[in-house]
């Protein structure tokens, strides 16, 4: 009999069935002591097994701390990185689904922000000081090694990717094409969470093969969207509002969620079409639609 790894929780091993009972099959632990045989419960069998057969299993501990086996194998190995689903959270951390019988623990120290059940995040599988498998969201070095230069993309193309890290300037995404993409704060329409998947537009292809991206639409589309925001506010305020091209940028940002420059473009767009006008009192008025 051979094994893929040591017989400890979190490992995959090839073990021989030595006996079968109503409970399930017992696998030889190689100690010569039948009390050490490892249970492969019927609920953890993907097919019927027979005495003498060698089966590949994932090892984990049951609630009583006993080594137990499952034929449901993990979809990632120690040292690998994957985009996985959070299946539960606790006061000590969270558990993620790597395709095995049980979720793998992610301690708070390995998190990037707060994660919630059902969300997906990039993680790396490792073994902690106690020998247990765990995951961490600190994956930037691994994703950089796994990335490839952006060669089959051009400015204006749309790409999809998940956020894996933030710095003071913006967010980093790993795209489905395995590109590293940078999203500057100024190019965000809202602040994404680490792990969130975004559809973004390529704005620049760098010499190192990485790309810059934006959540914002093209200027013409953005201007029309911003103009709609202004019209909607005017309609909700009986056709007038105390905002104009003289209003402070921070007020515009707070009220409309756009920059002062974007506001002025959209306002000018509406004025040229005879839909609104600015008056000497500093207010903007809706004329006709």
Q: What pLDDT tens digit does each residue of the chain (289 aa) get?
A: 444 456 878 788 899 999 999 999 999 988 888 888 999 999 999 999 999 999 999 888 887 888 899 998 888 888 999 999 999 999 889 999 998 888 899 999 999 888 999 999 999 999 888 878 899 999 999 999 999 999 889 998 999 999 999 999 999 999 999 999 999 998 998 899 999 999 999 999 999 999 999 998 777 777 888 999 999 999 999 999 999 989 999 999 999 988 898 899 999 999 999 999 999 898 999 997 5
Q: Are strands 211-214 and 180-184 parallel, antiparallel or unpaired?
A: parallel
| Selection from 63, 69, 60, 72 nearest residue 18 by Cα | 69
Consecutive H or E run containing 226: helix 219-236
Domains of the chain: 12-70 (2.40.50.140), 81-138 (2.40.50.140), 142-214 (2.40.50.140), 219-286 (1.10.10.10)
Q: What is the gyration radius of the CA atoms in the chain, in angstroms?
A: 28
Q: Enter the pTM of the model.
A: 0.66
Sign of the C-alpha dihedral, residues 68, 69, 75, 79?
A: positive
């Amino acid at each position: 009999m051979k094994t893929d790894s040591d017989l400890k929780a979190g490992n995959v091993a090839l073990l021989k069935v030595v006996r079968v009972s109503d409970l399930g099959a017992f696998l030889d632990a190689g100690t010569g002591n039948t009390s050490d045989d490892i249970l492969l419960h019927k609920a953890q069998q993907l097919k019927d097994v027979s005495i003498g057969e060698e089966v590949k299993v994932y090892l984990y501990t049951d609630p009583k701390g006993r080594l137990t086996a499952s034929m449901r194998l993990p979809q990632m190995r120690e040292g690998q990185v994957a985009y996985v689903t959070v299946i539960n959270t606790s006061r000590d951390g969270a558990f993620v689904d790597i395709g095995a019988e049980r979720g793998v623990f992610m301690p708070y120290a390995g998190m990037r922000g707060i994660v919630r059940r059902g969300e997906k995040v990039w993680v790396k599988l490792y073994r902690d000081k106690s020998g247990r498998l765990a995951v961490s969201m600190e994956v930037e070095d691994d994703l950089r090694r796994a990335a490839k230069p952006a060669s089959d993309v051009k400015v204006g193309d749309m790409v999809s990717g998940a956020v894996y890290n933030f710095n003071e300037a913006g967010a980093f995404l790993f795209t489905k094409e395995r590109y590293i993409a940078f999203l500057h704060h100024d190019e965000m329409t809202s602040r994404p969470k680490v792990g969130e998947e975004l559809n973004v537009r390529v704005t620049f292809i760098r010499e190192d093969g990485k790309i810059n991206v934006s959540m914002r639409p093209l200027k013409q589309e953005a201007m029309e969207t911003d103009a709609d925001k202004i019209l909607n506010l005017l309609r909700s305020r009986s056709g007038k509002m105390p905002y104009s091209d003289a209003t402070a940028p921070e007020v515009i940002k707070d009220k409309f969620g756009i920059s002062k420059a974007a506001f002025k473009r959209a306002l000018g767009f509406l004025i040229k079409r005879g839909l609104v006008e600015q008056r000497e009192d500093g207010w903007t008025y809706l004329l006709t639609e």
